Amino acid sequence: MPNQFEKFREIEEMENIKPTPIEKKKPIELTKEEDEYFVDLLKKAKEAEKKGDLEQAIKLYLQYKEEYKALREKKEGKKEEKEEKEKAEEIKKNYEKYECIKTLKGHGGSVNSVIESHDGKYIISGSGNKTIKIWDKETGKCIKTLKGHGGPVYSVIESHDGKYIISGSGDETIKIWGEKEE
């Protein structure tokens, strides 16, 4: 005949609950009130078990398990939220130190899109003057101007392999720029 714990596991399996004993994970820090509440739940479950009320004992054990799991997830979520907030504060502190170190000039219209090349060596910009410029990031000099759009260039990206620049324009076209094939 199965003991109470085995019966509890059978019911868990019937309810499609994966048995994950709480004691296998590092215990969470409980407040005094939380600790008293969970101890009380376990006492009630043990009392019901001693009285032979298996259904009530299992109900209380499941309640304990679900509420403890929910509290663990809540506390872990708050910890992650705190870590994210600290990380954001660190980033903010770093950005507060930023100042302009270089200004690139050369477009004859508004600059609508700016990206850095995948290798980090170039800046690529799209402008209201219908051009795309490729800039040397270190020197700040324009090394190439791409012309061909009939309207402002609103968007530029570089292909993942770095072989192409793709642009979107107010002339209702998308252009792919790259080396001419011979």
User: What CATH number corresponds to the domain at position 124?
Assistant: 2.40.10
Q: What is the pLDDT of residue 158?
A: 96
Look-up of token digits 């800039």: 135
Residues linked to residue 147 through DSSP beta bridges, in sequence order: 131
Q: What is the pLDDT of residue 91?
A: 82
Q: Do 89 and 120 share a domain, yes or no? A: no
Cα 29 to Cα 8: distance, rounded to the nearest angstrom: 26
Q: Do 117 and 79 share a domain, yes or no? A: no
Last-in-domain residue among 63, 96, 129: 96
Each residue's pLDDT expressed in tens, for the chain with a length of 182 residues: 455 555 555 555 555 444 444 445 667 788 888 888 888 888 888 888 888 888 888 888 888 888 888 888 887 777 778 888 888 888 888 778 888 999 999 998 999 999 999 999 999 999 999 999 999 999 999 999 999 999 999 999 999 999 999 999 999 999 999 988 76
Using CA atoms, how far residue 20 sits from 9, 45, 65, 68, in Å, is 10, 18, 9, 12
**Beta sheet of 142-147, edge-to-edge order:** 111-116, 122-127, 131-136, 142-147
Using CA atoms, how far residue 88 sits from 7, 78, 99, 125, 149, in Å, is 49, 15, 19, 28, 40
23 φ/ψ angles, rounded to the nearest 5 degrees: -65, -15
Q: Do 120 and 39 share a domain, yes or no? A: no
Q: Do 80 and 162 share a domain, yes or no? A: no
Q: What is the pLDDT of residue 143?
A: 97
Note whether residue 53 is domain-resident: yes
Domain enclosing residue 130, as ranges: 111-177
Q: Do 54 and 87 share a domain, yes or no? A: yes
Note whether residue 68 is domain-resident: yes
Say how many domains are in the chain. Answer: 2
Last-in-domain residue among 33, 62, 96: 96
Note whether residue 28 is domain-resident: yes
Q: What is the pLDDT of residue 70?
A: 85
Q: Do 137 and 73 share a domain, yes or no? A: no
Q: Do 44 and 116 share a domain, yes or no? A: no
